[in-house]
Structure 1
Amino acid sequence: MRIVMLGAPGAGKGTQAQRMVSHFGIPQISTGEIFRENLKRNTPLGREIKEFMEKGELVPDDIVLKIVEERLSHGDCAKGFVLDGFPRTLGQAKAFDGDVDVSCVINLSVDDKVLLERLAGRRTCRNCSAVHHISVLKDRKVCPLCGGELFTRQDDAEATITNRMKVYYKNTHPLIEYYRKKGKLIDVNSAQPPQAVFEEIKERIAEL
């Protein structure tokens, strides 16, 4: 099962990808997580992508494709994978189609107002990298999992969120029609509670 996750920032791609990992027994490939790990370790790649991420801009296609191709070459991807955060442009999608036959594309749709509320309320742990929302936190400064310090990521700051949305509608939103024409798109309403979203995803995949 080779799955691609689509949706605006805050639509819940990472959350649903993690559930599919547990259910289908395939790895989650998150370009954002790979980027953040390299930023944390201050690797050459991390330094290269830092200026793009901090401004909410997309990392150039050639860099992203190189990262994804390297990760998919690992043995744990032999039976499939869930791609979270890739492809983000038509150029990436077309280049990827030349190498991989995607099983389906899950598009998580939700109103912009809900997205903004979700993103602005996100807090990330400096220690374990877990992401939480202020709506369920007893203490907005302490991670409930490990006790680490919670902070607002640069790409979750209000100004950056606005720019990320603009970038999404310009570059990534066209992928919806691209995959729809290919007969690979599955539209799912992600304004529902996470478990309800996942149940719908499972039902739709079972129909393939």
Structure 2
Amino acid sequence: MLIGITGGIGSGKTTVAKLFAAYKNVTVYYADLEAKKLMNTSEVIRKKLIREFGEKAYDTNGLNRAFLANIVFKDKEKLTNLNEIVHPEVYKHLTNFIEEHKDKEYILYENAILFENGSDKICDKIITVTAPHEVKIQRVIERDKTTREEVLHRMKNQWSDIKKKLQSHYVIVNENLNTVKENVKNIHNKLTEK
């Protein structure tokens, strides 16, 4: 069973996914993390990104994330182009991951743009993680050492929480850790009911 877990930037979906990962019969595929790895290791992606964004897409350290972020978070079309280059390779990688972990009760598929890139269609159930707007902004400013303006730019390119919640089977509000842990336990129990 493939369970999608998503949420807007700063919602804490990775933190929530790690709580699910604590159950021994569950594994998590972190799409953002795997995409970053693939963008540095896949020759297919590298060639396409250089063709689309120029030689500055990579520097001596690998992917030039700051350069790309500066372009794609201000231009929706460029963001779409980036996703169209990276997503097919991530999907192939995910398919192999699912095959390798088919012994698990379920695989949690953590993806920030689950709905935006159509990945919700391959999921059996979907969990959306939300948090208050200002909390999300502060989390991202602290985590990425960025500005409020940059965070708001990124948020504009994602679906609203309301739109995501309407298409989800479960919603977790990530504000109080004890409540979140209780929600994770309840959802896990429902997903593993025989």
CA gap of 1:163–1:63, structure 2 versus 1, over 3 A, is same
Q: Is 2:174 the partner of 1:190?
A: yes
Cα distance, 1:17 vs structure 2: 1.1
Give 1:157 shift. 4.4
Given candidates 120, 123, 129, the residue that maps to 1:108 is 129
Counterpart amino acid of 1:30?
Answer: Y
Q: Are the aligned partners of 1:4 and 1:86 in contact in 2 as well (CA < 8 Å)?
A: no
Give yes or no for the alignment of 1:84 onto 2:68.
no
The Cα offsets for residues 24-70 of structure 1, whole Å up to 9 and x where unpaired, read as 43332122112322455585525728565443345424631441233
Shift of 1:176: 3.1
Q: Is the 8 A contact 1:65 1:92 kept in 2?
A: no
Superposed, which structure 2 residues align to 1:115-130 within 5 Å?
Answer: 115-122=136-143
Q: Which residue of 1 aligns with 2:29?
A: 29
Aligned to 2:87: 64
What is the aligned partner in structure 2 of residue 166 from structure 1? 156
Inter-CA distance 91–108: structure 2 relative to 1 (3 Å threshold) = closer
Q: CA deviation at 1:177?
A: 2.3
Question: What is the total number of aligned residue pairs between the two structures?
Answer: 165
Structure 2 residue matching 1:204: 3-state secondary structure: helix
1:202 aligns with 2:185: yes
What SS does the aligned partner of 1:15 have? helix
| 2:4 aligned counterpart, secondary structure | strand
In structure 2, the CA distance between the partners of 1:60 and 1:206, relative to structure 1 (3 Å rule), is: same
For the residues of structure 1 that align with 2:164 and 2:88, how far apart are their CA atoms? 16
Larger helix percent: 2
TM-score using structure 1 length: 0.64
Query: Which piece of structure 1 moves more, 114-123 or 56-65?
Result: 56-65
TM-score, scaled to structure 2? 0.68
State percent identity of aligned pairs.
12
Out of 162, 166, 174, the residue aligned to residue 177 of structure 1 is 166
* Runs of 5+ unmatched residues, structure 1: 124-151, 180-184
Shift in Å at residue 77 of structure 1? 2.7
Preserved CA contact (<8 Å) 1:5 1:83: yes
CA distance in 1, matches of 2:30, 2:108: 8
Which of structures 1 and 2 has the larger relative contact order (alpha carbons within 8 angstroms, sep 6+)? 2
Counterpart code for 1:23: Y
**Map of 1:142 onto structure 2:** none
Change (3 A) 1:90 1:167: closer
How much does 1:173 deviate?
A: 5.7
Q: Distance in 1 between matches of 2:43 and 2:151?
A: 25
**Partners of 2:36 and 2:123 in 1: how far apart?**
27
User: Hey, what's the Cα distance between the residues in 2 that align with 1:22 and 1:204?
Assistant: 14
| Contact 1:36 1:46 (C-alpha < 8 Å) held by counterparts | no
Q: Indicate if the aligned counterparts of 2:17 and 2:108 stay in contact, CA closer than 8 A.
A: yes
- Tell me how far 1:106 sits from its aligned partner: 1.3
Residue 159 of structure 1 aligns to a residue whose secondary structure is: helix
